[in-house]
Amino acid sequence: DSGVTQTPKHLITATGQRVTLRCSPRSGDLSVYWYQQSLDQGLQFLIQYYNGEERAKGNILERFSAQQFPDLHSELNLSSLELGDSALYFCASSARQNSPLHFGNGTRLTVT
């Protein structure tokens, strides 16, 4: 158990809808990272937050957004969902700059 909690574990929704994925980092970890893993793309970095502020953006679509709250949990919002957004979404956290990342077990999103 990495200590990173993601909810829900599974999510099934229809095209055009909006969903919110939640991540609770390990206790005391200040950085949160979001990754997307689809069958054909591998693990892709989406976005990083550090202590509530956005630190880095990767291949995140404009339809997607994220935030990190004062209690350090993070949410990833996906809107106007398309079939191609079906994927595993992982959250990771790290204690401080350059520390190892520890990943949760992901949210499996299925868009029908």
Partner 1 sequence: DAKTTQPPSMDCAEGRAANLPCNHSTISGNEYVYWYRQIHSQGPQYIIHGLKNNETNEMASLIITEDRKSSTLILPHATLRDTAVYYCIVRAYSGGGADGLTFGKGTHLIIQP
Q: Which residues bind partner 1 (CB under 8 A)?
A: 2, 4, 31, 33, 35, 42-43, 45, 48, 55-56, 58, 88, 90, 92, 94, 97-98, 100-106, 108
- Compare residues 2 and 80 and give the one whose CB is closer to partner 1: 2
- Compare residues 4 and 21 and give the one whose CB is closer to partner 1: 4
- Compare residues 47 and 111 and give the one whose CB is closer to partner 1: 47
- Least distance between partner 1 and beta carbon 16 (Å): 26
- Least distance between partner 1 and beta carbon 20 (Å): 19
Closest to 91 in 3D by CA, of 72, 106, 73: 106
Respond yes or no on whether the N-terminal peptide bond of residue 8 is cis (omega within 30° of 0).
Answer: yes
- Compare residues 81 and 87 and give the one whose CB is closer to partner 1: 87
User: How many whole angstroms separate alpha carbon 75 and alpha carbon 66?
Assistant: 6
User: How many whole angstroms separate alpha carbon 87 and alpha carbon 56?
Assistant: 21
- Least distance between partner 1 and beta carbon 34 (Å): 10
Question: How does DSSP classify residue 9?
Answer: S
User: How many whole angstroms separate alpha carbon 16 and alpha carbon 26?
Assistant: 33
